[in-house]
A and B are shown apart, each in its own frame.
Chain A
Amino acid sequence: MSLLELRNVTKQFGAVVAVSAVSASIEEGETLGVMGPNGSGKTTLLNLIMGVYPMDGGQMRFAGKEIGGLTTDVISRKGIGRTFQIPQPFLKMTVLENVVVGDVYGGGHRSVRAARSRGMEILEKVSLATKAGLEARQLGLLDLKRLELAKVLSLRPRLLLLDETAAGLVEAEVSQLQGLILELKKSGLTILIIEHVLSVIFGLSDRIMVLNFGQKVVEAPPAAISENRRVHEIYLGAKKAEKGHVRAKEAPEVRKPPGSLLSVKHVNSGYGDFQVLFDVSMEVPKGDIVGLIGVNGSGKSTLIRTITRQIPLKAGEIDFNGKNISEARPFDMAALGIAQCIEGRKLFPELTVEENLEIGAYCARARQMRNTTLKEVYDLFPKLLDRRWQVVSTLSGGEQQMVAIGRALMARPELIMFDELSLGLAPIVIDDLYKAIEKINELGTTIILVEQNVHRSLEVVNRAYIIERGRIVLSGPADELMRNDHVKEAYFGL
């Protein structure tokens, strides 16, 4: 009998099917890796197992007993421990106290005193014993991740659910954490691990399950997965070569005037203690389309939000049009001429198409030209003209993305940054959007394009930067990168 058995587990949020009839089983002592692009349903699956919300269909059995419908605390007490991608410690309690909670509630000790001594043992195992008396909020990221593991161990779990434990860590830290998890695996614990850092998931898993759009695409041992063409497609994007000839844009250095519109110089930034970007530099020439490519969690969105000054700089400088904008505030962006088209679209859900577009032209400079720009946007996206009075939450994904692009255009920017344009959209729709982007660029707007889909991106950009774990690992003209086998390596990390 498997320790954990999932049968046709399904979950829907409104019209979106997050998890679609996923079945899997894990034997005691096994480690199952779960992979998949952003939005493929991995975390949702974890949440379903932990009872965060109810399933819409299917069954889940733990040690033979049905756990669907139970609440999170009950499931934890049964012996399933779950870590969070962003650590969720009890900030104002000490490290030791953090570990005691699980023990007195799920771990079997009812006395706090007994739990304290066992707590110290656990802290020894994760190398946190010396910090037992510190408050959790004083810990750095790696220690917080260790604490996440320690907390989960205090429950005396039979099954560990690990959610992207390596996210945000540097290489040395990742291997330390990996070593820790390996020891836990050797001690006989059953593990389900979600990871984007491929070396980690390949190194720990006995089998790997790949999800895409909520469905299980393939399940096999790591070696088979790394060779699997479908998996490559999902991550790197289908080469248009399959359908025709691949043509990368030539770097048009001869025709366009030199000079960077945007200069990012040796930038470090992050959220609080969580450093995400390490010494990132990027030059965006005026009139170019520059790509920023990397897997989820590599820091792409953080870089965009750093440029728009939503995230403070810890080091480095950002120049726009020759001026240092490191001290600017987010609402200066529109006036400066920088627009962003954000991941997840971020439209104002209850405003209409036209209202969303109008808000895009809020800053004084764009406001006067509002009506002209509005016409230009409708020319670019005729579909929106039909839907101008519709509330945007009723539009399809592709249409929403058009509104988002249009809204960015309304600010008459010199630079637009597109973040994950193709997320959750069908290939045909993506084709249309990319055509629109090329047109926008031809009319003179400089563009930064953030994408997971390597091939798509390289077909349209002049040059690209590859970012991995907060560092730029590779950069150059698109045609060079296209031929570069290292792109696959650096990207796929094998």
Chain B
Amino acid sequence: MSFFTLSAGALNGLLLGGLYAVCALGFSLIFGVMGLMNVVHGELLVLGAYLCFFISRALGVDPFIATIAVAAILFAVGWLLQWFVFNPVMQRGIEPALLSAFGLSIIAQSLFLFYWTTNTRSINARYSQTGVQVFNIHLPVMYLISFGLALVLAAGAHLFMTRTYFGKATRAATQDPETAQVMGINVKRVYAFTYALAAAIAALGGTLIGMTFSFVPSSGLTWMLKGFVIVVLGGMGNIAGTLAGALLLGAVEGVGGAILGTGYHDLIGLVIILLVLVARPTGLLGRAR
């Protein structure tokens, strides 16, 4: 096990972490703002991937261009989901919302299966399978693009939360929904917007997944769990933390994968998270909810 292999693994993993960050950001926002564990987030990502696949094919455009349309569609879907499925059960504790999300997950997976079958898909662009050589290490272009996008997205989300009035209102509603209500903030709308935004971000995540890997109707679960791992590592709703957690996960997986073999790649994150939760039952950085 040479140092070179390890560092190659770490570097690739770090960049891949950027992709993870994009996929996990929406999940983190929803968890942070509303305390809702969005177990259907994986299906939102997969939906984004499918829509991008078909739209970019139908219109003959680059997948990233198609993503704009997909994001708009998912924004609307997200708003409707929060408004009609989650908002009504929010006050009843965590379980109803969690189980409803599971219901959505089942529905989504069966619809995917029905319309789009079990064929493995991936989104192809001219550049999606190419890579660059840096210090003799092969870095896939998609990894680099994802990393860049992750930074941009994180910065954008941070600015939104701290500079815009609505972003501040969202943070207020997160910390104390009741008081925020009395200040005139329509907390229900804040929640709907947050979910919609998270879904739109998931659209981008789906595109990245589709271009970097492949996907089938049941791919969602693995990605959702990665999101959970990242949120526990980095703190829910904490944008910088989510980015850091994602990069960390990517790097650790990269190194671990180099040592143990690729099959155990996904297992590493799960084991780590179990250990972390044992040590700190409410996560590393985030507030206890």
Binding site for B on A (CB under 8 A): 308, 310, 329-335, 340, 342, 346, 348-351, 355, 358-360, 362-363, 367, 407, 411
Q: Are B165 and A333 interface neighbours, CB within 8 A?
A: no
Q: B181 contacts which of A330, A342, A349, A355 (Cβ < 8 Å)?
A: A330
Q: Are B175 and A363 interface neighbours, CB within 8 A?
A: no
Q: Are A360 and B171 interface neighbours, CB within 8 A?
A: no
Listed A/B pairs (7) with beta-carbon separation below 8 Å = A331-B181, A333-B182, A349-B175, A351-B172, A359-B169, A359-B172, A407-B183
**Measured between alpha carbons, how far is A483 from B175 in the docked complex, in Å?**
45
Q: B182 contacts which of A308, A348, A355 (Cβ < 8 Å)?
A: A308
| Chain B contacts for A359, CB-based, 8 A | 168-169, 172, 180, 183, 185
18 extra interface residue pairs, beta carbon distance < 8 Å, beyond A340-B182, A358-B168? A310-B182, A329-B181, A330-B181, A330-B182, A331-B186, A332-B184, A334-B183, A334-B184, A335-B184, A348-B179, A351-B171, A359-B168, A359-B169, A362-B165, A363-B183, A363-B184, A411-B183, A411-B184
Binding site for A on B (CB under 8 A): 165, 168-169, 171-172, 175-176, 178-187
Q: Are B175 and A350 interface neighbours, CB within 8 A?
A: yes
Q: B168 contacts which of A308, A331, A346, A351 (Cβ < 8 Å)?
A: A351
| Chain A contacts for B185, CB-based, 8 A | 331, 359, 362
A472 to chain B, nearest CB (A): 24
| Contact A348/B176 with A331-B186, A358-B165 known, Cβ cut-off 8 Å | yes
Output the nearest chain B residue to A349 by Cβ-Cβ distance: B175
- From B171, B180, B182, residue with most partner A Cβ within 10 Å: B182
B100 to chain A, nearest CB (A): 22
B283 to chain A, nearest CB (A): 16
| Chain B contacts for A310, CB-based, 8 A | 178, 181-182
**Measured between alpha carbons, how far is A144 from B253 in the docked complex, in Å?**
54
A403 to chain B, nearest CB (A): 13
| Chain A contacts for B182, CB-based, 8 A | 308, 310, 330-331, 333-334, 340
**Measured between alpha carbons, how far is A358 from B167 in the docked complex, in Å?**
12
Output the nearest chain A residue to B173 by Cβ-Cβ distance: A348
Q: Are A348 and B184 interface neighbours, CB within 8 A?
A: no
Q: Are B181 and A348 interface neighbours, CB within 8 A?
A: no
Q: Are B183 and A360 interface neighbours, CB within 8 A?
A: yes
B162 to chain A, nearest CB (A): 8
| Chain B contacts for A358, CB-based, 8 A | 165, 168
**Measured between alpha carbons, how far is A355 from B185 in the docked complex, in Å?**
14
| Chain A contacts for B187, CB-based, 8 A | 331
| Chain B contacts for A330, CB-based, 8 A | 178, 181-182
A234 to chain B, nearest CB (A): 29
**Measured between alpha carbons, how far is A106 from B208 in the docked complex, in Å?**
59
| Contact A348/B172 with A310-B178, A330-B181, A359-B180 known, Cβ cut-off 8 Å | yes
Q: Are A348 and B165 interface neighbours, CB within 8 A?
A: no
Output the nearest chain B residue to A332 by Cβ-Cβ distance: B184
Q: Are B176 and A355 interface neighbours, CB within 8 A?
A: no
| Chain B contacts for A340, CB-based, 8 A | 182
**Measured between alpha carbons, how far is A411 from B182 in the docked complex, in Å?**
11
Output the nearest chain A residue to B287 by Cβ-Cβ distance: A350
| Contact A348/B175 with A331-B181, A358-B168, A359-B168 known, Cβ cut-off 8 Å | yes
**Measured between alpha carbons, how far is A11 from B123 in the docked complex, in Å?**
60
Output the nearest chain B residue to A336 by Cβ-Cβ distance: B184
Q: Are A355 and B168 interface neighbours, CB within 8 A?
A: yes
Nearest 5 A-B pairs (CB), nearest first?
A334-B184, A363-B184, A330-B181, A348-B175, A362-B184
A188 to chain B, nearest CB (A): 42
**Measured between alpha carbons, how far is A329 from B184 in the docked complex, in Å?**
10
B15 to chain A, nearest CB (A): 31
A53 to chain B, nearest CB (A): 14
Output the nearest chain A residue to B166 by Cβ-Cβ distance: A362
Output the nearest chain B residue to A360 by Cβ-Cβ distance: B183
Output the nearest chain B residue to A345 by Cβ-Cβ distance: B179
Q: B184 contacts which of A333, A342, A346, A355 (Cβ < 8 Å)?
A: A333
B160 to chain A, nearest CB (A): 14
B236 to chain A, nearest CB (A): 13
**Measured between alpha carbons, how far is A367 from B186 in the docked complex, in Å?**
15
B170 to chain A, nearest CB (A): 10
**Measured between alpha carbons, how far is A359 from B171 in the docked complex, in Å?**
10
**Measured between alpha carbons, how far is A331 from B172 in the docked complex, in Å?**
14
- From B169, B172, B178, residue with most partner A Cβ within 10 Å: B172
B181 to chain A, nearest CB (A): 4
| Chain A contacts for B175, CB-based, 8 A | 348-351
A348 to chain B, nearest CB (A): 5
**Measured between alpha carbons, how far is A333 from B182 in the docked complex, in Å?**
6
A392 to chain B, nearest CB (A): 10
| Chain A contacts for B180, CB-based, 8 A | 348, 359
B118 to chain A, nearest CB (A): 44
